[in-house]
Amino acid sequence: MGIFRKRKVKEKVSILSAPQNDSSSHPFNIVGSYSPLTKVELDLYSSLREALPIIDAAICKINRLLGTFSVDCESKKTKAMVDDFFRNVDVCQGNKGMYNFISCYFDNLLTYGEAVAEIVLTSDGKNIRALYNTDPRDVTLIEKDSPLNLVVCSNSKGINEELPYQDLFVTSMLNPESGRSRGVSILRGLPFVSGILLKIFNALGQNWDRVGNVRFAVTYKPDSNSGSSAYTRENAQQIADEWSRVMRNKNSVCDFVSVGDVSIKTIGADNQVLDCDLPIRHITEQIVAKLSVPPFLLGLSWSTTERMSSQQADILTSELECYREILNPVIERIARVYLSLNGIDEKVTVKWTHINLQDELELSEARLNKANALKIEKEIEREFGVKESEEGILETV
């Protein structure tokens, strides 16, 4: 009978909301929440070195290029004693030698802007047992009586407690600001640009995870004229189960067969991935400029000329000379303490190895040209009786 028509049953469709996942944030959250002049500033600098390999590589390169050193004393016997002490002293990090101690000390100075070390004496107090590099995050330098008198305090219990035997501590500060008893890290100014770079790397990894591990969208459109519309949910569930079985079978190639209007598309295949080369290049330039390390030392193949590379090497040489001047008082102080404990009062002078960032062939050619010039000048002076003055004027001998 056509009196009562069957009403179309509208299937109830449930909309499921995906759980919110803050996957856009990189694992180094301390970089994104940076606020200067806080207690977590030193932890931030340590996290920067872990997050960006280029920063860690630059600091390690500066440390290696600093070179080795020796000391000169008034007598050869005293020099031999100091040299033996520098070779065999324990540095409490599983190593021996003054070079390893200064390397760790200088690493803390660059990273945190300040370095603190302790001269550990033997039980009888007559000799130096070891040299210990203190974590700058565990101590605080506080002015006492005057800005020129800084004392080392322990902050492990939340309060600053002055440590005993202040004469056995050596401290250094990197570029301290006026009116402040705190050093400035070489990484200061990098948290903002580093946070942007980490966001780019994190988004790049997520895009490759989505595009590399392809995801599919299977759409089933039931025919409105047939009775299959009443079983939409059952059909969709069956298609989903079969599709999952096909995708899980990795040992052999399987075909997916379905009845009806079923379309399969790759999720995200039609989207354009943003070009990240240019922003990464700009941010990396800011980091390299702050660390004063030539790009070619970090493996960055940027377009440069031979003269530009030479100038960059000269700039780094001047930076290394400045760092050496900061470390000289520390080395001299330790050597004087060692000599004082042995009853010797002599002057100690630190001598560093020559910084050589140029090609050995170019240096040898320069020395050869200089020697040839001196030879020609002497021949002219001997034959014609004239020589060139410092102003470039020929004078009669």
Residues 180, 191: contact at Cβ < 8 Å? no
Percent of the chain with pLDDT over 70: 74
Q: Is the predicted pLDDT of residue 17 greater than 50, yes or no? A: no
Closest CA relative to residue 336, chosen from 324, 348, 328, 326: 348
Q: Is the predicted pLDDT of residue 270 greater than 70, yes or no? A: no
Range from 11-20, 98-107, 176-185 that averages highest in pLDDT: 98-107
Q: What is the pLDDT of residues 91-150, one digit of tens each?
A: 876 788 999 999 999 999 999 988 999 999 988 888 899 999 988 888 888 887 777 788
Confidence band, pLDDT 50/70/90 cuts, at residue 1: very low
Range from 29-38, 52-61, 178-187, 277-286 that averages highest in pLDDT: 52-61
Confidence band, pLDDT 50/70/90 cuts, at residue 14: very low
Closest CA relative to residue 59, chosen from 249, 187, 171: 187
Residue type, 290: K
Q: What is the pLDDT of residues 210-242, one digit of tens each?
A: 666 677 777 777 776 655 566 677 777 877 777
Confidence band, pLDDT 50/70/90 cuts, at residue 20: very low
**Which residues in 2-22 are b (16+ Cβ under 10 Å) and which e?**
eeeeeeeeeeeeeeeeeeeee
SS3 5: coil
The C-alpha angle with vertex 51 and arms to 312 and 115, in degrees rounded to 5, equals: 70
Q: What is the mean pLDDT of residues 17-46?
A: 59
Structure confidence at residue 99 (pLDDT): 92
Higher-pLDDT residue of 43, 212? 43
Q: What is the pLDDT of residues 294-305, one digit of tens each?
A: 887 787 877 665
Confidence band, pLDDT 50/70/90 cuts, at residue 9: very low
Structure confidence at residue 5 (pLDDT): 47
Q: What is the pLDDT of residues 349-380, one digit of tens each?
A: 999 988 766 555 566 677 788 888 888 888 87
Q: What is the pLDDT of residues 190-200, one digit of tens each?
A: 888 888 888 88
- Backbone φ and ψ for 336, nearest 5 degrees, come out as -65, -35
Flag the least confident range among 260-269, 367-376, 386-395: 386-395
Higher-pLDDT residue of 112, 31? 112
Residues comprising the chain, all counted: 397
Structure confidence at residue 28 (pLDDT): 60
Structure confidence at residue 388 (pLDDT): 63
Higher-pLDDT residue of 274, 63? 63
Confidence band, pLDDT 50/70/90 cuts, at residue 327: very high
Joined tokens for residue 284: 């990396």
Joined tokens for residue 373: 């010039």
Instruction: Provide the mean pLDDT of the chain.
Output: 78
Percent of the chain with pLDDT over 90: 19
- DSSP assignments along 231-279, one per residue: GHHHHHHHHHHHHHHHHH--SS------SSEEEEEETTTTSPPPP-HHH
What is the DSSP pairing of strand 146-154 with strand 139-144?
antiparallel
Give CA separation, 243 vs 109, 221, 234, 272, in Å: 59, 16, 14, 27
Q: Is the predicted pLDDT of residue 72 greater than 80, yes or no? A: yes
Dihedral, 75, 79, 80, 82 alpha carbons, nearest 10 = 140
Radius of gyration of the chain (CA): 35
Q: What is the mean pLDDT of residues 58-75?
A: 90
SS3 15: coil
